[in-house]
Chains A and B, each alone.
Chain A
């Protein structure tokens, strides 16, 4: 039996729950990994992942098949995660802060920081674990939309085109949003790893143009 996504979707749509189960098994870990990055708590991430698949099944007849199944799946996943985050109320900033001095910060504050930490330290695994934790904290400081785009790009290797379709934004926005997400994470990481008491909440210097 051919098992490409669209075939399974078609069968699931006509009531074949086993086909839908195969789809779930194909994507469950990936969806979970993204959900984990979004909501942080593992149990909540598991619950959100299941909820996402439930929604997928319920809205199967709305899936036109003109986009790929997996971008549609991830759209549902990230939207479900964002709903959860908004319900929590923490860090639900819809407006995104853009700081054009970011470029200068990067080149001065964190040059050589990450690469060396990751590769050469003798207590490599301990440091890597700390880096992982700090990375999670930094990620949690990002606005949801930045978190989502960074996770989808890094975890799934989604092309800008797929990202645009998944997040329903223009392709130009994808490029700048990704860049800002990365820049912010790097800046936060630099602060954490340098043991600076001031964390990300310090007000950013507003740049000249604030553009999306």
Chain B
């Protein structure tokens, strides 16, 4: 049963947040001194806050944030257009908006020319066409003589090349990291990628 002299819960809420005026706070504290019911209600309000904070802060603390900032930065602008593209855009814009000043400013012309030079040249007549997607081709792969590590080369379906490092069975073993990080790679006896592609 709530005593009409008891403070409103709204006032308790404001008091909890330290947002009562000085006079209101003094009056409230005087009341609390003699009212266990209101003290209990205040404790209730405080307990909710404490539990809430603990609940989410613990989860946030338990989370690994080591890659977070990097992920944010990577989401910003993963690829800046290469210089040639940027110059060619600038050249196009310049041509469009300033037809009258063709010969003005050596710097401007030089930049434009560099753009033309760096742009991919149109295919010369008779040139052999690209045979579809061509990935990199590895010519030499080696590891330092003294190291215990041997390279393994894998060619992916998309034509990319993966160079992985594994403990060489003939050499004394060297830990490559925690067990969790060692992937499921079976070092092939010969350096042959899967699927017979190379």
Chain A positions within 8 Å of B, measured between CB atoms, are 17, 20-21, 24-25, 28-30, 32-34, 36-37, 42, 46, 49-50, 53-54, 57-58, 102-104, 106-107, 110-115, 118, 128, 131-132, 135-136, 139, 150-151, 153-155, 159-160, 175-176, 178-179, 182-183, 185-186, 189
Instruction: Fill in one digit per residue for B13-54: 1 if any A CB lies within 8 Å of its CB, else 0.
Output: 110010100000000000000000100110111011111111
A-B contact pairs, 8 of them (CB 8 A): A24-B72, A25-B65, A33-B59, A42-B63, A53-B72, A103-B2, A106-B41, A115-B40
Note all chain B residues with C-beta closer than 8 A to A183.
9
Verify A36–B76 contact, CB threshold 8 A.
no
Q: In chain B, what residue has the closest Cβ to A56?
A: B72
7 more CB-based (< 8 A) A-B contacts, given A42-B59, A57-B76, A175-B14: A32-B63, A50-B71, A57-B72, A135-B51, A155-B53, A160-B19, A186-B45
Q: In chain A, what residue has the closest Cβ to B43?
A: A115
Bound: A29/B61 CA distance, A:
7
Q: Give min CB distance, A11 to chain B, whole Å.
A: 14
Verify A160–B17 contact, CB threshold 8 A.
yes
Q: Which residue of B13, B59, B71 contacts A175 across the interface (Cβ within 8 Å)?
A: B13
Chain B, interface SS category? helix
Q: Give min CB distance, A7 to chain B, whole Å.
A: 17
Name which of B40, B49, B63, B69 has the most chain A CB atoms within 10 A of its CB: B69
B131 at interface (Cβ–Cβ under 8 A)? Answer: no
Verify B37–A107 contact, CB threshold 8 A.
yes
Q: Which residue of A29, A49, A118, A179 contacts B51 across the interface (Cβ within 8 Å)?
A: A118
A29 and B55 in contact (CB under 8 A), knowing A111-B40, A114-B47, A182-B48?
Answer: no
What total of chain B residues lie within 8 Å of the partner, measured CB to CB?
A: 39
A132 and B51 in contact (CB under 8 A), knowing A106-B41, A159-B19?
Answer: yes
A176 and B17 in contact (CB under 8 A), knowing A57-B76, A182-B48?
Answer: no
Bound: A178/B53 CA distance, A:
15
Chain B positions within 8 Å of A, measured between CB atoms, are 1-2, 8-10, 13-14, 17, 19, 37, 40-41, 43-45, 47-57, 59-61, 63, 65, 68-73, 75-76
Verify B17–A36 contact, CB threshold 8 A.
no
Verify A132–B2 contact, CB threshold 8 A.
no
Verify A114–B69 contact, CB threshold 8 A.
no
Q: Which residue of B1, B40, B55 contacts A132 across the interface (Cβ within 8 Å)?
A: B55
Note all chain A residues with C-beta closer than 8 A to B10.
175-176, 179
Verify A154–B53 contact, CB threshold 8 A.
yes
Q: Which residue of B8, B14, B48, B76 contacts A135 across the interface (Cβ within 8 Å)?
A: B48
Note all chain A residues with C-beta closer than 8 A to B50.
118
